[in-house]
Structure 1
């Protein structure tokens, strides 16, 4: 049987790096930390390239270029996607995730720009309404990251709620992003519901040999915080502006971090529908807690991707 995940270029590099043996101690901890960072960086590849394009074109793109900057960004994003697929740096399933997030993000962008939540200050030919097409790729970068990190770290879950509850929560969050312009904003209730639904949920992931775990709600926060920092780069690069940035750049307000937290939940639930949820059995959890390294060693590289 062919391991299609390991057939990717990253899969082969990952298998090689994971095969390294280092005696327990500071060196082993440092190696695992660096390997964790390498995998995170790889999962962020699409988003990192998009951020680099936003910043690079802001600083160096010619003002008199025959192609609008936004249109260049759109074409560059498409080229990055096709190149990653051609070089097998990304799987077809991850490309499907990107397309789904692009569509969902563009619909939200159309509504939010019309409502005045933010604007795109530059001109473009490749746009829908007031929304340049490159903007959908920013949402796609989030979906790409979650889909790739899910596979790279072999996610499993304990205490995960029924899928119908997570789908209902994600749907309510998405509706509130639109409805709060006419109806009361219920995001406090949505935060409360997220805590009630996920408070028992742990995510189990494998950076190297030992399986690690983290509260899922904390994982959502860390990803949201990372995206909030990335959004500051995007607005600094004049890719889009919030109303309080019209007269000069300033950092994106902290309440936006809450919005990203809710959006991460939507993104996570959507990816879970594609990847599925591997639920940890109680005996598996007990074995990992008692002999974590041995348990991972027994798994070998069957989850390598």
Structure 2
């Protein structure tokens, strides 16, 4: 191999996530994909197309748990009989548990990721218990697999967000320029979580918290490896993009009857755009939890522009 190509390949390999951070299935896919893509003829248009396709496939793979769960919810709305022996909510809970077991057993998910998902499940369920009690949203009353008025499948929807966050962190080998101190992000995330409860009884601080998020992460830039290049994105913009996609998924889930906001009980209508702020703030809790498992790393010197 020529010295110049050898040096370039070495730089690319040092910038990638190490093999041990992939699942067994992902290692096989990665080896096959690089074998195909490395032989692709070089041209600017083809290079752009390869990067776009790889980006799309990685995003799809990162959100596989949430996507499967959303398909199950929609399918249950369309074909699951109302008079079935097992209530729809219980069937959703059982299906979510089966999907989670399959992902771990088939090594589509690492045990490290499972820890984060369990944390999201607990954090989300606690919030669900409170929010349903104060009437922020409601679930159908059927089924026995529930805590108070909250069916157990609801925690898996938060787990789906956690699954996406931790998988995208790994699959794109995310690195960060000027990431805030983690203790500061932890304090802000705790304040955001607390505000989800206290704003029902006291002043709603969400706009102040939103401003603090922008201020704290304003200088932070995320570096995401696609295939041969790294994409540089302001972190705040990335937060907003993910929040938007979660809001779209929420519209699909409420249409499918997974839960309903007060203005959707009689007739379904799109989820209020103001929920985008709530999802944006929830993203911060997600990011902070993931950052305690995957410590944010700066870009390698060889990858800096």
2-side partners of 1:18 and 1:257: how far apart? 37
Hey, what does 1:54 align to over in structure 2? 73
Secondary structure at the counterpart of residue 4 of structure 1: helix
The question of whether the paired residues in 1 share the 8 Å contact of 2:120 and 2:159 is answered with yes
* Structure 2 CA distance for partners of 1:17 and 1:200, relative to 1, 3 Å: same
1:16 aligns to 2:32 (yes or no):
yes
Q: Does 21-30 or 86-95 show the bigger shift?
A: 21-30
Secondary structure at the counterpart of residue 117 of structure 1: coil
* Structure 2 CA distance for partners of 1:3 and 1:28, relative to 1, 3 Å: closer
Hey, what does 1:274 align to over in structure 2? 293
Q: Does 271-280 or 249-258 show the bigger shift?
A: 271-280
Aligned equivalent of 1:28, options 47, 50, 56: 47
1-side partners of 2:34 and 2:136: how far apart? 45
Matches within 5 A, 1:70-81: 70-81=89-100
Secondary structure at the counterpart of residue 250 of structure 1: coil
The CA deviation at 1:28 is 1.4
1:187 aligns to 2:206 (yes or no):
yes
2-side partners of 1:30 and 1:280: how far apart? 24
Matches within 5 A, 1:1-305: 3-19=19-35, 20-21=37-38, 22=40, 23-280=42-299, 284=301, 287-290=302-305
* Structure 2 CA distance for partners of 1:17 and 1:186, relative to 1, 3 Å: same
Give the alignment's TM-score, normalised by structure 1.
0.91
The CA deviation at 1:11 is 2.6
The question of whether the paired residues in 1 share the 8 Å contact of 2:173 and 2:225 is answered with yes
The question of whether the paired residues in 1 share the 8 Å contact of 2:172 and 2:225 is answered with yes
1-side partners of 2:131 and 2:199: how far apart? 11
The question of whether the paired residues in 1 share the 8 Å contact of 2:141 and 2:149 is answered with no
The question of whether the paired residues in 2 share the 8 Å contact of 1:161 and 1:198 is answered with yes
Residues 113-133 of structure 1: CA deviation (Å, up to 9, x unaligned)? 001000002411000010000
2-side partners of 1:167 and 1:179: how far apart? 18
The CA deviation at 1:288 is 3.1
The CA deviation at 1:289 is 4.6
The CA deviation at 1:16 is 2.2
Secondary structure at the counterpart of residue 212 of structure 1: strand
1-side partners of 2:44 and 2:249: how far apart? 34
Any gaps of 5 or more consecutive residues in structure 2? 1-17
* Structure 2 CA distance for partners of 1:13 and 1:245, relative to 1, 3 Å: same
Secondary structure at the counterpart of residue 296 of structure 2: coil
The CA deviation at 1:111 is 0.2
Residues 262-281 of structure 1: CA deviation (Å, up to 9, x unaligned)? 00010010000011111236
Residues 37-62 of structure 1: CA deviation (Å, up to 9, x unaligned)? 11100000000000001100000001
